Structure 1
């Protein structure tokens, strides 16, 4: 039985090296990359000039390294804060999104179809997480009071800091780098931002996603009117940058045609093909073949306007005329136009780059949504995003109604709210992963006095209330009781496994600790389910897979994903456990499941050997211990 000695997140550096070995095997010698050989293989693509177009800032190198580091943390389940734990496909993760994104690498790599983020805008008042590149997980636990009884205040990034923009870029770079790994090949990301960092964010995304994968820079008109107390200009818009992972695989969906546009189509001649509009028959591009005389029904001659030509050849024009697709106006005396029928136009319109608040919502409406949900208190969100905006973004972005959508600056929880609302509208099965830092609320705020000690607590409550409201508003809709308005809550924490601390000189002290735990290297304050989900993460299994349980004496057996993995972390593992797993395996379609036990759970080596042999008899060879 193989022993699992360490559980870490995806090792991105090792992964990249393996890819390089596949492409350039001769560039490696004794396992090491030979840079000169690699340069020879890529030839003229090497940039040797010291001056070339690039974006750099103080701390960029460390930010790049941070994106490649593994995390030794884990995500601990919190069933008591979850909603519909056993049936939901949605996830809420409380923690620093840098570490969380690392932990999601194995389970969700290339699976996320759409990402939306509304990060801190770096206005001098917004929170900016101060990453500690030496040990970011410990830094997070200390800042959030999990390792320091007094706790520590999270910080803001003021413009008096000499590295004002650099601090913000250092925060964003590794997070976006990791986010790209999670995106499917046909995935897309939408990033809200204002003027403070828009230009920097655009250059940053050009580097991470590739400027060839830039789609557009949307201007969202977010406010009704001007602020007359503005010092210079009244800011009434935000930017939304749009990048895809690979332009070859992604195109925006068409937006719904507005009723007023459809109303322009009329049918004055009672054409059997239905309503139509008159379309210009000439174009700016001149073509001699398309420069001819058209004779109207009243004998009048028409030529294209100066420097223009007809849009079709004379032969094609004759076909259109015979098919009653040319109009000369009601009395037959106007210039020729072609008839474009409503029944033949594409079912929607191409998205435009200026989004008005009537179609995409506005900040005041967003605040009203939250106020209606939290009638008993005021929650501290100055500029929440409206669900109308996120619903439109999802419609433009999605590849199917089963997409996984990620928001790792979840804030007020608008994205999760929008996903549930859209699923209610079109019977979709989209899933949402929300990540939010437990940023403390102001002790003087109404939210704090109402019991919400962190922003994450407000976010979770908003999602709960939004789900109930959606079901209430759609109570007469068939099947609404099946709408997924739940979410599994997980919290970032240190690993459940006691690892040897090589930084500590007192080796005997560590041995004493190991002895105190009776040889068990699982931390004493952690549950079986804590360890269970750490195993799922590190094995690359999704956090919402169905989990079945069976109790055999004092042993709990977990069946993950209908037979893809079996886990038993009990202290009194017997051969009956193996027999039960074997019977379960017969019902499964998975030919090679993994089975994981707690190594210290066996009373003797004989019990361990018998368990392994019993599993082999039913065709299960992949047996490991932790």
Structure 2
């Protein structure tokens, strides 16, 4: 009598639930705080020594719809990302990615494959200035609402929610829109990663509180103030706004690294070497300081014999012993004639490269809104194709500071594609490797040749690629394009009615492919759901006349052939993979073949055999 064989593993098709890992980690740390699988918050407070009553009011950000928005980020996505070869550029040899779709659903799909991978995130979200929210948020059926918005399932059109009223609902709706996206984005940052969010005065106060809540106030880095215009708007009712904000937060401020601004030629010119010091160029710094220092009150005799003391109200910035060390080491300068006031020599070779950036970003450094429009029109032959672009120099500076040594860059409000353009320019300038991942909703436009904003994004990336590869032929300027679509597998839906109906469906259910699903699309969905990135290299093998896909150097083998044969299965085993995936329907209900395959896989040392 043969022993029963457990069923093969089956990968979960919906996207990861972002809070599952946190919940499991909390339960592992404090198992006594859980009862029947549910967290007892009062018990957890007691374990942590928290004595504040749970009902006591606390400081924080609250708005109508907050709890619904929090749940929105926790709902899995039932869709997938389908390769778009026509929308790609040199897809076979690039690490850049462009995704067309609702960024909330896309962020959910990226959680498993891209968790903890992004060095930098930059977004320029809607500013809530009275225009429409065109994102089709429906927290109960996000994927279904997007499919209706993009016309993939019917012609009902997009559901838009206008923000023309002046009540608290305006801010509440914007906060509910932003919260789940920022929550999911944080998961994608590396421990040393940073996020920068552009915003104006309408919501900067709310955004600061929202980012404090999601990232922690201790991880606030800066509020950059960008001079977006240098001429006042004479039609402004009160005062013309000539600046916007960019809030910067770290995933972990203790690990984050921010780059430095390069010195200008004028700043370099301040370092000279009039005394031919072998340590190289230096510049004189005042030896006195304004802060009282008792040990800094002593007389200094110059080489010419003149005795000098600190100016009134000031003190030498060192004690007498330290001064003597500097004098002996040739670090004190008394002027060319040796009778001047003592100065400390600061050597260029001993200072940190570059300059510490400040929070006031002038238009001369990073450009203005008007210049951004001009540079975008240049790429499109003089046409105005986008209303609110950012100057590429602004985003370039952000990229160079927040990802100074390279690393992946994410922008899930890609808009005109300026982030991708800026990343390419930074890579060309410093030689670092920064692949980008851009996400853009296919928002309709009134331009027949550029029918959606996503078309504008790709057109800008293509123009930037053409411009840069002329001078940097080895630069990775391509991208792999994907579209947010429904899954290529029929979803599981529990039947209504009596338990017998559910039992019958469970007995006969097989996760089957949708009619017409292309093998490459199915493969991309399986790889993403399994935690492989969108640019994962896949080799194609021909075994027993069928196509088999080898991933990670052959450690994972995926066969989408239907039906399967014993020779084909054994040919895959001979490749010695660690995991093998096949279609469940390819066994055509042949339980004996499935059982024998599982036993043979195990005997060949294959740890994971899965059917989908």
TM-score, normalising length from structure 2?
0.92
The CA distance in 1 between the partners of 2:256 and 2:94, in whole Å, is 28
> Structure 1 521/186 Cα, relative in aligned 2: closer, same or farther at 3 Å?
same
1:227 to 212, 230, 233: 233
> Structure 1 99/365 Cα, relative in aligned 2: closer, same or farther at 3 Å?
same
The question of 1:470 aligning with 2:468 is answered yes
Structure-to-structure mapping, 1:412-561, within 5 angstroms: 412-441=416-445, 443=446, 448-449=447-448, 451-472=449-470, 474=471, 480-502=472-494, 521-552=512-543, 555-561=546-552
Alpha-carbon offset, residue 357 of structure 1: 2.2
Alpha-carbon offset, residue 241 of structure 1: 0.5
2:583 to 586, 598, 615: 598
> Structure 1 608/501 Cα, relative in aligned 2: closer, same or farther at 3 Å?
closer
Deviates more, 1:368-377 or 1:244-253: 368-377
Deviates more, 1:454-463 or 1:29-38: 29-38
Contact 2:136 2:146 in 1 (8 A): no
Deviates more, 1:605-614 or 1:139-148: 605-614
The CA distance in 2 between the partners of 1:575 and 1:95, in whole Å, is 41
Contact 2:304 2:339 in 1 (8 A): yes
> Structure 1 465/508 Cα, relative in aligned 2: closer, same or farther at 3 Å?
farther
Contact 1:554 1:572 in 2 (8 A): no
The question of 1:362 aligning with 2:368 is answered yes
The alignment partner of 1:187 has SS state of strand
Contact 2:283 2:347 in 1 (8 A): yes
| Residue aligning to 1:200 | 206
1:189 to 195, 201, 207: 195
Contact 1:214 1:243 in 2 (8 A): yes
Deviates more, 1:169-178 or 1:300-309: 300-309
Alpha-carbon offset, residue 202 of structure 1: 0.6
The question of 1:573 aligning with 2:564 is answered yes
List alignment gaps of at least 5 residues for structure 2. Answer: 1-6
Contact 1:130 1:171 in 2 (8 A): no
> Structure 1 266/26 Cα, relative in aligned 2: closer, same or farther at 3 Å?
same
| Residue aligning to 1:347 | 353
> Structure 1 495/210 Cα, relative in aligned 2: closer, same or farther at 3 Å?
same
The question of 1:112 aligning with 2:118 is answered yes
Q: Deviations over 1:257-306 (max 9, x none)?
A: 11111112233333333332210112233222222111223333222234
The CA distance in 2 between the partners of 1:417 and 1:365, in whole Å, is 15
The CA distance in 1 between the partners of 2:559 and 2:572, in whole Å, is 10
Q: Deviations over 1:339-395 (max 9, x none)?
A: 11223222111111111222223223322332222117431x222112222221111
List alignment gaps of at least 5 residues for structure 1. Answer: 475-479, 586-591
| Residue aligning to 1:145 | 151
Structure-to-structure mapping, 1:167-316, within 5 angstroms: 167-316=173-322
The alignment partner of 2:460 has SS state of helix
> Structure 1 216/494 Cα, relative in aligned 2: closer, same or farther at 3 Å?
same
> Structure 1 167/554 Cα, relative in aligned 2: closer, same or farther at 3 Å?
farther
Q: Deviations over 1:82-141 (max 9, x none)?
A: 112222111111111111111111111111110000001111125352521111111111
Alpha-carbon offset, residue 3 of structure 1: 4.8
| Residue aligning to 1:588 | none
The CA distance in 1 between the partners of 2:167 and 2:519, in whole Å, is 46
> Structure 1 86/45 Cα, relative in aligned 2: closer, same or farther at 3 Å?
farther
Contact 1:573 1:601 in 2 (8 A): yes
The CA distance in 1 between the partners of 2:372 and 2:505, in whole Å, is 52
The CA distance in 2 between the partners of 1:54 and 1:524, in whole Å, is 50
The CA distance in 1 between the partners of 2:51 and 2:555, in whole Å, is 45
Alpha-carbon offset, residue 320 of structure 1: 1.7
The CA distance in 2 between the partners of 1:364 and 1:467, in whole Å, is 23
Alpha-carbon offset, residue 5 of structure 1: 7.0
The CA distance in 2 between the partners of 1:183 and 1:518, in whole Å, is 38
> Structure 1 506/26 Cα, relative in aligned 2: closer, same or farther at 3 Å?
closer
| Residue aligning to 2:4 | none
The CA distance in 1 between the partners of 2:433 and 2:463, in whole Å, is 19
Deviates more, 1:132-141 or 1:120-129: 120-129
The alignment partner of 2:437 has SS state of strand
Alpha-carbon offset, residue 510 of structure 1: 11
Contact 1:575 1:614 in 2 (8 A): no
How many residue pairs end up in the alignment?
Answer: 605
Contact 2:102 2:440 in 1 (8 A): yes
Contact 1:122 1:157 in 2 (8 A): yes
The CA distance in 1 between the partners of 2:337 and 2:390, in whole Å, is 52
The alignment partner of 2:69 has SS state of helix
Contact 2:494 2:502 in 1 (8 A): no
TM-score, normalising length from structure 1?
0.90
Alpha-carbon offset, residue 237 of structure 1: 1.5
Q: Deviations over 1:525-584 (max 9, x none)?
A: 322222222222221111111011123456321112222321111212223333443344
Alpha-carbon offset, residue 419 of structure 1: 1.4
Contact 1:391 1:418 in 2 (8 A): yes
> Structure 1 575/377 Cα, relative in aligned 2: closer, same or farther at 3 Å?
farther
| Residue aligning to 1:385 | 390
| Residue aligning to 1:589 | none
Q: Deviations over 1:423-452 (max 9, x none)?
A: 2223322111101111111x3xxxx13x21
The CA distance in 2 between the partners of 1:364 and 1:509, in whole Å, is 64
The CA distance in 2 between the partners of 1:520 and 1:167, in whole Å, is 38
| Residue aligning to 1:622 | 608
The CA distance in 2 between the partners of 1:185 and 1:235, in whole Å, is 35
Contact 1:575 1:610 in 2 (8 A): no
Contact 2:539 2:550 in 1 (8 A): yes
Alpha-carbon offset, residue 519 of structure 1: 6.0
The CA distance in 1 between the partners of 2:51 and 2:188, in whole Å, is 28
Contact 2:293 2:317 in 1 (8 A): no
The alignment partner of 1:238 has SS state of strand
Deviates more, 1:184-193 or 1:270-279: 270-279
> Structure 1 164/25 Cα, relative in aligned 2: closer, same or farther at 3 Å?
same
> Structure 1 609/113 Cα, relative in aligned 2: closer, same or farther at 3 Å?
same
The CA distance in 2 between the partners of 1:502 and 1:80, in whole Å, is 37
The CA distance in 2 between the partners of 1:415 and 1:11, in whole Å, is 28
